[in-house]
Structure 1
Amino acid sequence: MRESLHRLRRASPRTPSVEAMTESTLAAPTPRLKRAAAPDVSRGLVLIGIALANVPFFLFGTELGIALKPVSDDATDQWTNVFVAMLFDNRSYPLFALLFGYGMTQLMTREYTRGASWEDTRRLLIRRNLWLIAFGAAHGVLLFFGDFLGPYGLLGLALVLLIRASGKVLAIVGWICFGMLVLIGAFEGLSGLFGTVDGGMTTGAPFGSAAADSFGVAVLLRAGEWFVQMIGMPFGGIGLLAPMILGMWLARRRVLEDPTPHVRRLGLAASVGISVSLLGAVPLALALLGVVEYGIFVEPLVTMLHAGTGAVGAVGYVALIAILAGRRETPGPISRIFATLGQRSLSGYLTQSLVFLIVFAPYALGLGDQLGIAEASQIAVITWLGTLIAANVLAAVDKPGPAEWALRKLVYRPRRRATPSSEANSAS
């Protein structure tokens, strides 16, 4: 694989066959029917984890505890917190980050295969990430302060610098970033300290946008929250480069497109990764159930453990999905159901935030201070199921998601066809 890519990089892009192409042919998204199943199935499934992880941030008026979880004496709420913490918190976003890095490398490989030069491919990658930041800005300001499109787009620009790096360089940078991911996890454990200030935190939104009484005020507050998040990315989000870099490394070996040669290693990664993830979440689960109460200096260690093992668990999840969904040449019916949402994951993600805003915001249905975490999580699952159904309806008529359609139109800009004279010049 490396040798073929190297030959493609050295090949001149000025051959007659390439020069005669339009940019829309040379740089175009892979048709949905030709996409590998495992990455799309993973994206479709991880959206339920993202929904469950995000919905607590739309609740307000309830004190937040360790890992920014709403505090409740209700046993159902407590067990819901435990369920999400064990399986999804600090696991879903690293998994999506891994797939993000995998997808960027797939895009680069596809462009090389079509004969594009590195300069053209780099421009395409940069343009895509810049538009992702723009989508994130709109999402973060209008719908949800915790947007990850903008941060992922920003980190994607950093990946452009690393995407052709050697395996050794990727390993060094990846381990450093993993260490940062673990350290940053300590911030989720500072709730014990925050709880001593002004009676505790009552919203996960830093400037209180979740509790704003009007949409206009909420937009202003979310703009500040999103901007602070973006300027803090070099410190607070750099840890996510670790799973992104791992995704790039896996894509170089086509592990998710062709998992059969790697099935033993994937099986080991799945069993070890998921086991480590579950064990690493136990201390946090005990705190959420009220079985133990950690001091303010111990809570950061608990959440650091949760974050670090969560990233390992993300690897385990994607390995398991690759084994189950990626070994068949033609995806089965169940895989296709989830893959259709994965192919429209951007639309699915944005739809979640829109639904949550309508249901929970004070200026909409206003249920954010009336529902417990268990009821809110049910709404999150129902929302995910709705996006799953909608994605399959769109697949039945062979239509992309609206957000995917818009992003592709903006990223894959058409260029006029080469004139016959230019083809003749290139041939000579």
Structure 2
Amino acid sequence: MTTQTLPAVDHRGPVTGQERALAPDLIRGAMLLLIGLANSANFAFAGQPGVESSPHGLERVLNFLKLTFLDARAYPVFAVMFGYSLVQLARRQRSSGATPGAVRRILLKRNAWLIAFGLVHATLLYFGDFLGAYGIVGIICTLFLLNRSDKFHRIILGIWALELIYVLATAAQSIIAVVNSSRPAHALTNEPNPSLAASSYGASVIDRLHEYPMHTASVVGFIMVVWLGIWAARKQILENPAAHRTLLTRVAVVGLGITILGGLPLALVGAGWLRVDEAAVDSLSYLSHLSGMFGGPGYVALLGLLASSITNLSLPIKAISALGQRSLSGYLFQSVSWMVLLAPFTLDLRFGSTAYTAFFCAVAVWVVSVIGAYAMSKRSYRGPAETLLRRLVY
């Protein structure tokens, strides 16, 4: 009688539907609405933060809500979730028996392809791409963070504590700037992005090739937000949110409290309800962007709590989660939609109130993507972008 020695597993394939936890998918699907509201406004106004500089009526409310809850507050959610997904992917590979070297190769290959996806996305559709930055950060995390001990990863909690102190100090400086403000009052205006105002598609491509490298360099620093997601994933907080309700509640209250209070003064300026000079506006803008990073863990914790309370998977929950499972396709679909609906050389639907147009386009595109993702899930189709990425990686 002879015994056979099974070969060592080099790597396993992508995650199956039965392995997925509700909370991460629900978070990604829901937050794509906030991403859409932010990016559609940037397209519509051809600049950032995408607000009406002379608001009237409900435009004031839209400006206020965008600056309080969206601007610099939506993308940190996906940074947290990206870090979380890195650990999930590595854990699934290891649990299947994949060798450490194979796990590293899979992660490096996947993130390298994300950089390629990002370059194509930024060249063809939208300079404000985050995929390339995710890929760069993912490679750094794979090489230097993922295989560290729990004790090492506590460093990120200390970094965030220091960041909180810095936010409080910045808030104090902003209060002084508002108190010392003098006339003339300075309205909040959009910083223009030439690619979004280009009169032809060819001109927009050239502009994006100039804008994309600087944008990517500016957002690679959110590695600290990604690292927090890595820490959370090591604790498997979102796989079992009910067991971590106390922690999630505290993070939601503190994170969203900081991000809302930090964005509130600039939101009042954007709505035209607070009139200060240019120096004060600049100070409040910095405070808003700095405090926005706390929206990442804050929103994740809030939606994690929501997921923990769900006992019946209703149709809307299933559909939003289906979009979360196809978040890459949903993200790219949004960019295609903005290009078709809002670019000057396509349909250019920016008539009447630009703020209203951006809002309704964002909601409509998100609803369509939810419906489309649910239809794909019923047919067990992963999504075009996910299918391509998995084919390239595995």
Coarse TM-score class (shorter-chain normalised): 0.7 to 0.9
Task: Label 1:145 to 1:156 Cα distance change in 2 as closer, same or farther (>3 A).
Answer: same
Alignment of 1:104-115 (within 5 A): 104-115=86-97
- The one-letter code matched in structure 1 to 2:153 is L
For 1:61-100, what per-residue CA distance to the aligned partner results, in whole angstroms no more than 9, with x for missing partners? 7xx68x5533133222221121122222222111110000
Work out whether residues 133 and 220 of structure 2, in 8 Å CA contact, stay in contact via their aligned partners in 1: no
Alignment of 1:129-144 (within 5 A): 129-144=111-126
* Structure 1 match to 2:28: 43
1:239 deviates by 3.4
Task: Label 1:294 to 1:37 Cα distance change in 2 as closer, same or farther (>3 A).
Answer: same
* Structure 2 match to 1:285: 267
Choose from 85, 95, 99 the match for 2:67: 85
- The one-letter code matched in structure 1 to 2:206 is L
1:18 deviates by 4.7
Task: Label 1:53 to 1:408 Cα distance change in 2 as closer, same or farther (>3 A).
Answer: same
1:167 deviates by 3.9
1:16 deviates by 4.0
For 1:37-74, what per-residue CA distance to the aligned partner results, in whole angstroms no more than 9, with x for missing partners? 1000000000000001111221247xx68x55331332
Q: Which moved more, 1:69-78 or 1:244-253?
A: 69-78
Task: Label 1:101 to 1:16 Cα distance change in 2 as closer, same or farther (>3 A).
Answer: farther
Alignment of 1:243-322 (within 5 A): 243-322=225-304
* Structure 1 match to 2:211: 225
For 1:315-352, what per-residue CA distance to the aligned partner results, in whole angstroms no more than 9, with x for missing partners? 12211222221466885544322110000001111111
Work out whether residues 136 and 149 of structure 1, in 8 Å CA contact, stay in contact via their aligned partners in 2: yes
Q: Which runs of 5+ in 1 are unaligned?
A: 1-14, 190-195, 413-428
* Structure 2 match to 1:324: 306
2:386 is the counterpart of 1:407: no
Partners of 2:281 and 2:109 in 1: how far apart?
A: 41
For 1:201-259, what per-residue CA distance to the aligned partner results, in whole angstroms no more than 9, with x for missing partners? 76632xx11111211111111112113323xx2xx224311221111001101000012
* Structure 1 match to 2:147: 164
Q: Which moved more, 1:366-375 or 1:112-121?
A: 366-375
Partners of 1:303 and 1:173 in 2: how far apart?
A: 25
Work out whether residues 60 and 203 of structure 1, in 8 Å CA contact, stay in contact via their aligned partners in 2: no
- The one-letter code matched in structure 2 to 1:147 is D
For 1:392-428, what per-residue CA distance to the aligned partner results, in whole angstroms no more than 9, with x for missing partners? 011111111111111110011xxxxxxxxxxxxxxxx
Work out whether residues 348 and 387 of structure 1, in 8 Å CA contact, stay in contact via their aligned partners in 2: yes
Q: Which runs of 5+ in 2 are unaligned?
A: 175-183
- Structure 1 residue runs of 4+, over 6 Å off? 180-183
2:61 is the counterpart of 1:73: no
Q: Which moved more, 1:139-148 or 1:267-276?
A: 267-276
Partners of 1:329 and 1:254 in 2: how far apart?
A: 20
Task: Label 1:214 to 1:150 Cα distance change in 2 as closer, same or farther (>3 A).
Answer: same
Task: Label 1:201 to 1:321 Cα distance change in 2 as closer, same or farther (>3 A).
Answer: closer
Task: Label 1:168 to 1:71 Cα distance change in 2 as closer, same or farther (>3 A).
Answer: farther
Task: Label 1:175 to 1:211 Cα distance change in 2 as closer, same or farther (>3 A).
Answer: farther
Partners of 2:6 and 2:311 in 1: how far apart?
A: 31
1:135 deviates by 0.7
SS of corresponding position for 1:367: coil
Partners of 2:7 and 2:232 in 1: how far apart?
A: 29
Matched positions, count: 374
Task: Label 1:164 to 1:34 Cα distance change in 2 as closer, same or farther (>3 A).
Answer: same
1:371 deviates by 4.7
Work out whether residues 46 and 92 of structure 1, in 8 Å CA contact, stay in contact via their aligned partners in 2: yes
1:359 deviates by 1.0
* Structure 2 match to 1:345: 327
Choose from 113, 120, 127 the match for 2:102: 120
Q: Which moved more, 1:371-380 or 1:298-307?
A: 298-307
Task: Label 1:383 to 1:116 Cα distance change in 2 as closer, same or farther (>3 A).
Answer: same
* Structure 2 match to 1:31: 16
SS of corresponding position for 1:74: coil
Partners of 1:204 and 1:95 in 2: how far apart?
A: 25
Partners of 1:371 and 1:290 in 2: how far apart?
A: 16
Task: Label 1:330 to 1:241 Cα distance change in 2 as closer, same or farther (>3 A).
Answer: farther
Choose from 376, 387, 411 the match for 2:369: 387
* Structure 1 match to 2:177: none
Task: Label 1:319 to 1:129 Cα distance change in 2 as closer, same or farther (>3 A).
Answer: same
SS of corresponding position for 1:71: coil
Work out whether residues 58 and 368 of structure 1, in 8 Å CA contact, stay in contact via their aligned partners in 2: no
Identity among equivalent positions (%) equals 35
- The one-letter code matched in structure 2 to 1:276 is I
* Structure 2 match to 1:151: 133
Work out whether residues 72 and 292 of structure 2, in 8 Å CA contact, stay in contact via their aligned partners in 1: yes
For 1:166-214, what per-residue CA distance to the aligned partner results, in whole angstroms no more than 9, with x for missing partners? 345434457558849979x99xx9xxxxxx9xxx976632xx1111121
2:340 is the counterpart of 1:358: yes
Partners of 1:331 and 1:101 in 2: how far apart?
A: 26
Work out whether residues 74 and 295 of structure 2, in 8 Å CA contact, stay in contact via their aligned partners in 1: no
Task: Label 1:312 to 1:229 Cα distance change in 2 as closer, same or farther (>3 A).
Answer: closer
